[in-house]
Amino acid sequence: MAVLTITKDNFQKEVLESAQPVLLDFWASWCGPCKMFSPIVDEFAEEREGEVKVGKVNIDEEPELANQFGIMSIPTALVFKNGQAVESAVGVQPKERLWDMTK
Amino acid sequence: MEPLYDMIVIGGGPGGYSAALYAARAGLQVLLLEQLSPGGQMGLTDTIDNYPGFPQGVSGFELAQKMKEGAERFHAVTKLTKVVRVRLSQEEKEVVTAQGVYRGKTVVLACGARPRTLELPKEDRLTGRGVSYCATCDGMFYRRKTVAVVGGGNTAAADALYLKNLCEKVYLIHRRDSLRASRVYWEPLRKAENLEMIWDSQVTALFGEEKLSGIAIKNKKTGKEASLSCDGLFVAIGTLPNTELVREQLKLDEAGYIPADETTRTEIPGVFAVGDLRRKPLRQVVTAASDGAVAAHFAEEYLATR
């Protein structure tokens, strides 16, 4: 499963109603560290295929979602379990940390 | 079974990738280990104007990709994984990562540095909630708001100038009475109407629970404390070397840097220190790259005498 693009329109279905844990990467095109984080998130998505759903939220296109979760720094990784945001990490994270967050 | 590499490079910034490029091009079998993605601090830099060969400047991320490709063209291998332990003293050096153990005849330490934090209570909790270490990443969230920058070097000056275009008001707080930043920044800072300098002062506390609401500042000369309301605090007070990995095996200087000289050789034969973690007068992309080339040269020499 490829990394999903999450928007306010599919957020309910793909994230809140997801049976699997979901990891979201909040990013923007002008953010250097986001570029560094993106391939790590992609690799993580590949490794956890079928176990963890991974999505990216472009905060310029989805300001409502960024606002709703109080994102004030990017990249931010946010983990959802059973429709609840349970853990977040600000800044570029090593892949191992993403594993820990979704255990 | 993993081979016995000629060289294992720890860290994928400009120092690491230059060492990898030079060594791989000389025919050595090179493994580079990076815990995040290539670039290190350079990868986080929006535009680099002072690396020669890019008259229009270049994004740090892009430059990192090019350095990686350059090393891979000569068959250096990159693995993205975190190094948890090293054993350097023996002839066959061991590097333990989250994904397995690698062995090398030489090791190049290129782990770089990270931003220094204020070490104030609540700083961790408020990071990403008002406290930031990257103005170009997070500045947009503070459009038309009031922010403070703390620091007096080039990063602090550049951050303040970047933020003055976005924010209602910018304070630049520095513990001395003049900036350490390069002169090119002085005039633009002085001219910025919405920028106010707060000299001789330190940030002593952070206010706010869910979100930063302000800071306490202490004037070092008068001893007076004052509070300042602000929505954002950008911390740019220098860096700390990432040398925790080797502090039990190598002597470090009082600031935590590895005291290797211009040959990049450390006190352990076959172990080299390049880039920001080495004790040196100027830490730049170009000086890190230079260290990498030198390390590869002396690594080759070391291997030839085995």
Q: Burial of B145 by CB count in 10 Å (0-12 exposed, 13-18 middle, 19+ buried)? A: middle
Domain extent, residue A67, equals 4-101
Question: pLDDT by residue (tens digit) across B43-52?
Answer: 888 788 889 9
To the nearest whole angstrom, how far is the Cα of A93 from the nearest Cα of chain B?
7
Nearest to A72 among B45, B98, B138 (CB): B138
Residue B302 and residue B106 in contact, taking contact as beta carbons nearer than 8 Å: yes
Domain's final residue, options B185, B203, B235: B235
The pLDDT assigned to A31 comes to 86
Residues of chain A scoring pLDDT < 50: none
Tell me which residue has tokens 């200087």. B253
> Would you call B37 and A70 a contact, using CB atoms and an 8 Å cutoff?
no
Q: Parallel, antiparallel, or unpaired: how do β-strands B214-219 and B201-207 relate?
A: antiparallel
Domain extent, residue B48, equals 4-114+239-304
For residue A55, the SS3 value is strand
The pLDDT assigned to A32 comes to 82
Domain's final residue, options B235, B252, B282: B235
> Would you call B137 and A34 a contact, using CB atoms and an 8 Å cutoff?
yes
pTM of the predicted structure, to 2 decimals: 0.83
**B26 and B128 housed in the same domain:** no
Mention every residue, 6+ apart, whose C-beta is less than 8 A from residue B248: none
CATH code, A96? 3.40.30.10
CATH code, B216? 3.50.50.60
**B53 and B133 housed in the same domain:** no
Residue B49 and residue B158 in contact, taking contact as beta carbons nearer than 8 Å: no
**B72 and B96 housed in the same domain:** yes
B136 touching A (Cβ < 8 Å): yes
**B121 and B193 housed in the same domain:** yes
**B35 and B55 housed in the same domain:** yes
Please pick, among A3, A31, A90, A92, the residue that the annotation labels catalytic: A31
A31 is catalytic: yes
Residue B72 and residue B88 in contact, taking contact as beta carbons nearer than 8 Å: no
For an interface test with A, the pick among B36, B140, B147 (most A C-beta atoms closer than 10 Å) comes out as B36
Residue B195 and residue B208 in contact, taking contact as beta carbons nearer than 8 Å: no
Please give the tally of structural domains in chain B: 2
Residues of chain B scoring pLDDT < 50: none
Report how many helices (DSSP H) and strands (DSSP E) chain A contains, helices first. 4, 5
φ and ψ at residue B52, rounded to 5 degrees: -60, 150
Question: pLDDT by residue (tens digit) across B136-162?
Answer: 888 989 999 999 999 999 999 999 999
The pLDDT assigned to B136 comes to 81
The two three-digit tokens of residue B49, written as one number: 């104007």
A67 touching B (Cβ < 8 Å): no
**B42 and B60 housed in the same domain:** yes
**B244 and B105 housed in the same domain:** yes
Please give the tally of structural domains in chain A: 1
The pLDDT assigned to A1 comes to 61
Size of interface A-B (CB pairs under 8 A): 81
> Would you call B128 and A30 a contact, using CB atoms and an 8 Å cutoff?
no
**B100 and B32 housed in the same domain:** yes
Domain's final residue, options B235, B256, B272: B235
B134 is catalytic: yes
> Which residues in chain B have Cβ-Cβ distances shorter than 8 Å to A96?
35, 81-82, 98
**B270 and B161 housed in the same domain:** no
Q: Burial of B200 by CB count in 10 Å (0-12 exposed, 13-18 middle, 19+ buried)? A: middle
For residue A80, the SS3 value is strand
The pLDDT assigned to B229 comes to 98
